[in-house]
Amino acid sequence: MKKYSKLLSLLLAGALVVGSFAGCGGSDSSSDSSASKADSSSESGAADGEVFKIGGIGPTTGAAAIYGQAVKNAMELAVKEINEAGGINGYQIEMNYQDDEHDAEKSVNAYNTLKDWGMQALLGTVTSTPCIAVSTEAANDNMFLLTPSGSAVDCVAPENAFRVCFSDPNQGMASAQYIGENGLAEKVAVIYDSSDVYSSGIYEKFAEEAGNQPFEVVSAEAFTADNNKDFSTQLQKAKDAGADLVFLPIYYTEAALILGQADKMGYDTKFFGCDGLDGILTVENFDTALAEGVMLLTPFAADAEDEATQNFVSTYKENYGDIPNQFAADAYDGMYAIKAAFEDQDITPDMEASDICEAAKAGMTEITIQGLTGGEDGISWSADGEPNKSPKAVVIADGAYTAM
């Protein structure tokens, strides 16, 4: 009996082992089948109700929230318009926008969340530092990426990445040329954020180009993110050097402080900035008289009189309650650039993200869109991801941006 029981237990154990393997196989195959079922259901959906899944990433909280929120709003607006007009190649767009708090790590997490959601192309990210991280990730996945406003050179270093805005060096160069050609100043001081890739990128090219221009850079002072409250020293140096124009390739939060402190110390000079100054008028409780006469180089002025801008500004205001800034305009143009590139290459939602990327890359270099930020000649793209468009300068007059 003992012998049998041994045999029996052996058999039972064997059965258990086999059973457990079978269990594994069973669960595997069932998950396979559910996956393939999901695939097939999405494929069958292609005929009716298949959508393009386009992701967006940007800071909707944190210090740069004003940019991410503007991009989100404008993207929503563009998606709604495109869907109402029949979508891209007849397919509707579904968008999903994730917050990255202007933090590279959180941005990569947001990218992964969007990938899990089934994203096929990314309109983002909004700010430069996170964008560099995400564009590297996106290059590994061969995911099409179009950043509305990531202006650092490396944002579009991979082949799959394009941008709507000007690059930092481009802004630095254009600013120097603008100041020189229009004879705005003879002595220029620069205050820039050496801890920020955007600001130092513009500054470096500006300083380089200044050599070819009929003005002199008399002082170039830096600050860092940890030391961005007191600018009295930088301003004092600019004043002592006799600068008649201060170039501020920085964001508006610090610029608002600089304008206030210059006013307090009785330093009356011209200020010239780049697109980072855009938004200064929306700072709550900010005395806009301080910003009177500040010039900035930006591709978009909300008071431009062309019909497209007027329509965009009024719909935006209706939906979100404030006047769109340049970031909103870039995002709006970005969405239409995706549409144009997708239509150029007859891209459909049932294609793999990687195939979409290959096609969209080719499409981007073919298209020219008018857009809000295109100026007279529109925007076209070169294969390295950079846009070709002409810069515009605006001046703040009576508390509003006015074209110069």
Partner 1 sequence: MSFISYLINGISLGSVYAIIALGYTMVYGIAKMLNFAHGDVIMIGGYVVFLASSSMGMSPLLAVLLSVVVCTVLGVTIERIAYKPLREAPSLAVLITAIGVSYLLQNVALLLFGANPKSFTSVIPVPALTLANGALTITGETIVTIISGIVIMICLTTFIKKTKAGQAMLAVSEDKGAAQLMGINVNGTIALTFAIGSALAAIAGVLLCSSYPTLNPYTGSMPGIKAFVAAVFGGIGSIPGAMIGGILLGIIEILSKAYISSQLSDAIVFSVLIIVLLVKPTGIMGKKINEKV
Residue ranges binding partner 1 (CB under 8 A): 59, 61-66, 194, 221-224, 226-227, 229-230, 232-234, 236-237, 240, 253, 256-257, 260, 264-266, 282-287
Nearest to partner 1 of 166, 206 (CB atom) = 206
Nearest to partner 1 of 147, 234 (CB atom) = 234
Number of neighbours of residue 374 by Cβ within 10 angstroms = 22
Nearest to partner 1 of 98, 120 (CB atom) = 98
- Asked if residues 219 and 176 have their Cβ atoms less than 8 Å apart, the reply is no
Nearest to partner 1 of 32, 240 (CB atom) = 240
- Asked if residues 248 and 236 have their Cβ atoms less than 8 Å apart, the reply is no
- Single-letter amino acid, residue 218: V
Nearest to partner 1 of 276, 371 (CB atom) = 276
Shortest distance, CB of residue 286 to partner 1, whole angstroms? Answer: 4
- In terms of Cα–Cα distance, which of 334, 287, 293 is closest to 123? 334
Whole-number Å distance between alpha carbons of 311 and 370: 14
- Asked if residues 372 and 309 have their Cβ atoms less than 8 Å apart, the reply is yes
Whole-number Å distance between alpha carbons of 38 and 25: 20
Shortest distance, CB of residue 226 to partner 1, whole angstroms? Answer: 6
Shortest distance, CB of residue 363 to partner 1, whole angstroms? Answer: 36
Shortest distance, CB of residue 188 to partner 1, whole angstroms? Answer: 17
Whole-number Å distance between alpha carbons of 137 and 134: 5
Nearest to partner 1 of 279, 349 (CB atom) = 279
**Which residue shows structure tokens 């089948």?**
33
Shortest distance, CB of residue 48 to partner 1, whole angstroms? Answer: 41
- Asked if residues 163 and 150 have their Cβ atoms less than 8 Å apart, the reply is yes
Shortest distance, CB of residue 353 to partner 1, whole angstroms? Answer: 32
Nearest to partner 1 of 280, 356 (CB atom) = 280
Shortest distance, CB of residue 265 to partner 1, whole angstroms? Answer: 6
Nearest to partner 1 of 289, 403 (CB atom) = 289
Number of neighbours of residue 305 by Cβ within 10 angstroms = 8
- Asked if residues 329 and 303 have their Cβ atoms less than 8 Å apart, the reply is no
**End-to-end alpha-carbon separation of the chain, Å?**
104
Whole-number Å distance between alpha carbons of 343 and 363: 8
Nearest to partner 1 of 66, 329 (CB atom) = 66
Is 385 exposed, middle or buried, given 0-12, 13-18 or 19+ CB atoms closer than 10 A?
Answer: buried
Largest CA distance in the chain: 109
Distance (Å) of CA 230 to CA 222, 253, 261, 284, 292:
12, 13, 8, 20, 21
Shortest distance, CB of residue 41 to partner 1, whole angstroms? Answer: 39
Reduced to 3 states, what is the DSSP secondary structure of residue 31? helix
- Asked if residues 185 and 215 have their Cβ atoms less than 8 Å apart, the reply is yes
Shortest distance, CB of residue 66 to partner 1, whole angstroms? Answer: 6
